């Protein structure tokens, strides 16, 4: 695959997933759809990139957990 076609495929995936997220009526359904997109994109990640992305996602989860505490 050429770089141009890979870029187009990524743009198409992004547009499709963003439309799916925007179409959700529930905020939690939109969150679930966004997380599914993350997992889908993770399949094509370089193993070297996984720890950094895991750290970012863990930071978001920890922040959400802190906010839910009374």
Domain ranges (residues) in the chain: 3-67
Q: What confidence score (pLDDT) does residue 66 get?
A: 94
* DSSP calls for 2-67: -HHHHHHHHHHHHHHHHHHHHH-SSHHHHHHHHHHHHHHHHTTS-TTTHHHHHHHHHHHHHHHHHH
Residue with tokens 């890979």: 6
* CB neighbours of residue 27 within 10 Å: 8
**What is the model's pTM?**
0.78
23-66, pLDDT tens digit by residue? Answer: 999 999 999 999 999 999 999 899 999 999 999 999 999 999 99
pLDDT band at 70 (very low <50, low <70, confident <90, very high): confident
Q: What confidence score (pLDDT) does residue 1 get?
A: 77
Mean pLDDT of 3-19: 95
- CA 42 – CA 13 distance, rounded (Å): 13
């Amino acid at each position: 695959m050429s770089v141009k076609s890979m870029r187009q495929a990524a743009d198409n995936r992004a547009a499709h997933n963003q439309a799916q997220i925007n179409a959700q009526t529930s905020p939690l359904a939109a969150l679930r759809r966004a997380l599914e997109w993350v997992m889908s994109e993770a399949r094509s990640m370089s193993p070297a990139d996984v720890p950094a992305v895991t750290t970012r996602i863990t930071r978001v989860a920890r922040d959400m957990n802190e906010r839910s505490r009374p």
